[in-house]
Amino acid sequence: MEQLHTSLAVEKAAQSKIDQVDFSKLVFGKNFTDHMFICEYKDGKWQQPRVVPYQPITLDPSAKVFHYGQAVFEGMKAYKDANDDIFLFRPEENFNRINKSSERLAMPAFPKDYFFEGLTTLLKLDKEWIKKGNGNSLYIRPFVIATESGVMASPSMEYTFMIICSPVQSYYGGEVKVKIADYYSRAANGGFGAAKAAGNYAGQFYPTKLANEEGYQQIIWTDDATHEYLEEAGTMNIFFRINDTLLTCPTSDRILDGVTRKSVIAMAQHMGIDVEVRPIKVSELVEAANNGSLKEMFGSGTAAVISPISGFANKDQFWELPKQESPMAQQIKQAIVSLQYNETEDPFGWRVKVD
């Protein structure tokens, strides 16, 4: 890719708005830092990358993102250790995935140096927004939207790549009861469920609302053809502990290749836990729940790292999971979180210092 512009332009905010934010009462993803990264694509290339004060964007009502859903994103986090050093967790995974998502949606790849120079500059400018202490972090949202005007249903010729950042606290979702999908689906075989694309989320809200009304917080998605195989938990990947084995299904066209998912697998193996990655049937889960071998279920994702599930419903039946003295979910979460906050060694090379 030809790169006309190699240096990042930086315009600092006249005044920080950090004093207006109560960091003890953060709502997930509601407050944003003083700056944002932005880079526009037109005439076949990415233009000057810029860090500018956080501000609204203006688009024509016919911009393609509003009509044809060409929009992909990532979720990642920055952490501060006791020495005020800032760390990212496996950021190359997110960079690679946003370009993979873009490809599936016929959108152009973003240059790696633009991504990392932009992200690093942004984090340094807004470093006061990253608070120390367990659970505090900066949620980072890179995203790309189609901005060309015109309502012809074809790929946009213009895009905007942005990174916005939001300070967050430890995410505790409470007791999560889930319902196994037996009618609605998240993704098609041969579709774009593996992409982190905007369109994969809108379709989940209505079935989830129906599940909420029945008393369940999330849906366990199953394969759309038969609803016999377990696939994802809400917007997270899913894990099952049967006796002392940790199970999760393989990624596919329909399943997101989660960074936390692969970190959980690697960390569990590192901890000596037996991990099986294979298709898992709803009927196997029900059988394990009935015979007492199902010990734990949890979702994995950037926001919560691991979100334990307390029980599941399949059709008209509900199973409460047994309480564990030392849940595997908690042990793995602690190991990953300690690594993220630079409290332990990093045998994997996952932690990347921002400097």
3-state secondary structure of 143: strand
Segment interacting with a second copy (CB under 8 A) among 16-24, 113-121, 149-157, 308-316: 149-157
Interatomic CA distance for residues 179 and 208, integer angstroms: 9
Is 68 a residue that touches a second copy (CB under 8 A)?
yes
Among 42, 81, 131, 155, binds a second copy (CB under 8 A): 155
C-alpha distances out from residue 216 to 116, 134, 176, 309, 334, Å = 39, 29, 7, 11, 26
- How many residues bind a second copy (CB under 8 A)? The answer is 71
Is 28 a residue that touches a second copy (CB under 8 A)?
yes
Among 26, 130, 187, 354, binds a second copy (CB under 8 A): 187
Interatomic CA distance for residues 121 and 114, integer angstroms: 10
| Nearest residue to 116 via CA among 106, 124, 126 | 124
Q: How far is the CB of 182 from a second copy (least distance, A)?
A: 9
Interatomic CA distance for residues 317 and 214, integer angstroms: 12
C-alpha distances out from residue 342 to 17, 84, 87, 272, 347, Å = 28, 11, 8, 22, 12
Binding mask 79-118 for a second copy (x = CB under 8 A): ------------------------xxxx------------
Interatomic CA distance for residues 216 and 309, integer angstroms: 11
Q: Which of residues 215-274 bind a second copy (CB under 8 A)?
A: 224-227, 235
Q: How far is the CB of 143 from a second copy (least distance, A)?
A: 6
What tokens does 36 get? 């944002």
Among 5, 29, 293, 311, binds a second copy (CB under 8 A): 29
Segment interacting with a second copy (CB under 8 A) among 39-47, 124-132, 197-205, 328-336: 197-205
Give 150 or 327: the residue with its C-beta nearer to a second copy. 150
Give 307 or 342: the residue with its C-beta nearer to a second copy. 307
Interatomic CA distance for residues 186 and 193, integer angstroms: 7
Is 214 a residue that touches a second copy (CB under 8 A)?
no
Is 44 a residue that touches a second copy (CB under 8 A)?
no
Among 44, 174, 190, 292, binds a second copy (CB under 8 A): 190
State how far Cα 295 lies from the chain centre: 26
Give 69 or 327: the residue with its C-beta nearer to a second copy. 69
